[in-house]
C-alpha cells in the first residue's frame, strides 16, 4: 500500500505523536509498504489533499488537539477523504470531551467515575479529598493532578476547562478494542507515583502487566464494558478504553482514547502483541481497515 502518516501536530502531545508516527512508519516500511511522513499543521491540509487522495490510506498518528478531537476527521470527510485510520468525526469529538463521553457510556450501563465540571464559584470539590483534576479534553495524562486538601484546592486557578473526579483507590486497567474484539486487559502499576505523563512515557517508570492478573470473570467483564463503551461512543476500528476500580473493586470507566499511542511504552501495541499481533502487522491491519473506505 501507499500510506501517508500524519504525525507531530500542534497539541501538548506533539512529542508523543512524533514518536508514534516514526515508529509506525518504520513498521510499515518493514512490511513492504511505501510510506510518506508528514509533520501535520492545521493550515497544511489544502496542499496535502492531492497526495492524500492518491494514497491507499492516511494513517493518523496524531494525539490530542485538532488531530484527535474530530476537527481533522471532519475536514477530511468534507474533501471526500474517508480512508483515514481511526474513528470518524462524531466519535472522535465525543470521546475527546471526557464529561460528554462519560455521560454517553453511563446511559448504556457502563459504570463511570463520578465527576463535575468546576467553576470559580465552587469553594470546594463535591467529593472527599483527594480528588482528581484533569483537562476536559486531551490525553497522555497531560495536566493531570491530585488535590489532597482544601488549601491545595484554593490555590488552583483557573478551573475553567477542567474536570473534577472522585479519587478511585483501586487498580487501573486499560482495554484495547481492535477490529471488533477486545484485546487482553493491561494492568498499570506506576512506580512511586500516579500514572501521569512522565510515568506513561519513561521506560521503567511503570509496570504494565498484560494480560492483567485477573480472574476470568473479571477479565470478561472488562472486555464487555470496553466493547459497550466503544459502541456507545460511536467509535470505529480501534481505540483504548481506560478503567479504574473503586474501593469495592468495581471497574469504572475513565475515558476513551481514539488514537492511542504507538510508542515503545504504549499500551495498545502491548495488548495487541499479547494477542499475537506483532507491531508491523498491527500497523498494517490498521491501515488496511482505512483503505477499505477509499472511494473508487
Q: Catalytic residue numbers?
A: 13, 140, 201, 240, 242, 255, 257, 261
What the block records as the C-alpha cell of 219 is 477479565
- Expressed in angstroms, the distance from the first to the final Cα of the chain is 15
Alpha-carbon gap, residue 201 to 210, rounded angstroms: 17
Amino acid at each position: 500500500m501507499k500510506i501517508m502518516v500524519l504525525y507531530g501536530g500542534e497539541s501538548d502531545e506533539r512529542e508523543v505523536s512524533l514518536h508514534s508516527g516514526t515508529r509506525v512508519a518504520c513498521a510499515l516500511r518493514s512490511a513492504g509498504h511505501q510510506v510518506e511522513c508528514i509533520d501535520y499543521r492545521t493550515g497544511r491540509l489544502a496542499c496535502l489533499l492531492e497526495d492524500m487522495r492518491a494514497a491507499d490510506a492516511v494513517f493518523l498518528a496524531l494525539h490530542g488537539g485538532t488531530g484527535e478531537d474530530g476537527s481533522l476527521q471532519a475536514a477530511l470527510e468534507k474533501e471526500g477523504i474517508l480512508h483515514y485510520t481511526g474513528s470518524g468525526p462524531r466519535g472522535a469529538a465525543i470521546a475527546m470531551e471526557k464529561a460528554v463521553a462519560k455521560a454517553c457510556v453511563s446511559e448504556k450501563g457502563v459504570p463511570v467515575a463520578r465527576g463535575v465540571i468546576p467553576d470559580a464559584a465552587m469553594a470546594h470539590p463535591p467529593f472527599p479529598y483527594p480528588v482528581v483534576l484533569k483537562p476536559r479534553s486531551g490525553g497522555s495524562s497531560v495536566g493531570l493532578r491530585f488535590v489532597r486538601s482544601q488549601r491545595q484546592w484554593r490555590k488552583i486557578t483557573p478551573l475553567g476547562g477542567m474536570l473534577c473526579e472522585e479519587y478511585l483507590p483501586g487498580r487501573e486497567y486499560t482495554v484495547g478494542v481492535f477490529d471488533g474484539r477486545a484485546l487482553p486487559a493491561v494492568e498499570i502499576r506506576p512506580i512511586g507515583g500516579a500514572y501521569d505523563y512522565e510515568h506513561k512515557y519513561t521506560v521503567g517508570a511503570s509496570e504494565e502487566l498484560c494480560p492483567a492478573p485477573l480472574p476470568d470473570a473479571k477479565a470478561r467483564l472488562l472486555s464487555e464494558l470496553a466493547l459497550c463503551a466503544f459502541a456507545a461512543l460511536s467509535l470505529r476500528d480501534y481505540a483504548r478504553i481506560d478503567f479504574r476500580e473503586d474501593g469495592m473493586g468495581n471497574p469504572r470507566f475513565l475515558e476513551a482514547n481514539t488514537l492511542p499511542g504507538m510508542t515503545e511504552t504504549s499500551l495498545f501495541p502491548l495488548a495487541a502483541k499479547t494477542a499475537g499481533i506483532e507491531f508491523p502487522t498491527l500497523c498494517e491491519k490498521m491501515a488496511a481497515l482505512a483503505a477499505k473506505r477509499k472511494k473508487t
